Chains A and B, each alone.
Chain A
């Protein structure tokens, strides 16, 4: 069974800092990996999707990398802003189908 782990569980940084969120997974046989943002009490917003054949994806200040062989992904956030404060979830789609296996998330707080 695929297990997804996210480190750290919580992170607090001052505005303007660059930061890295980590995600690891146990089964490298994946279709894709997706990073989401979850605001308190809200649904999920898809940030980046990396196909299993890709190494990274970029969107604005966000960059996600994927090293499938080592079972790792990182989400890099450049020049963090208070509006980036949220929980960031990593999810892996494995060979069983569409469904995603989620990590517990990293709770990010960016202070002004």
Chain B
């Protein structure tokens, strides 16, 4: 079945540094990928929609200059958390559909801790 690989699975960084998270579709092409964030005991919230070859679409309240998304190829999207702060500590997870109206396949997520 379709596989989405997300790296790293866990990262700890100091406040003010930047962290890059990669999301790869391993056996299918993904023109669209989604990035979600999940705080403890909260539901997954969509942050942005990543589109191959064009600018990402951000949800209301998500700072596009802080959460940089690049979708340079049909199999790779990256999320960079710039100048990370402790409040950015969260579980970030990406997903991609194999086609229109098809199940979304998720990466295993990245646990980000900013100290």
Contact = CB atoms under 8 A, between A and B. Distances in A.
Interface string A46-65: 10010100000000000000
**Contact residue range for chain A?**
20 to 34
Contacts, number: 56
B42 interface: yes
B97 A98 contact: yes
Main secondary structure of the interface of B (DSSP, over half): strand
B49 A98 contact: yes
Interface of B: 6, 32, 34, 36, 41-46, 49, 91, 93, 95, 97, 100-109, 111
Given A97-B49, A99-B46, A104-B43, A46 B109 contact: no
Interface string A34-45: 101000011111
A43 B34 contact: no
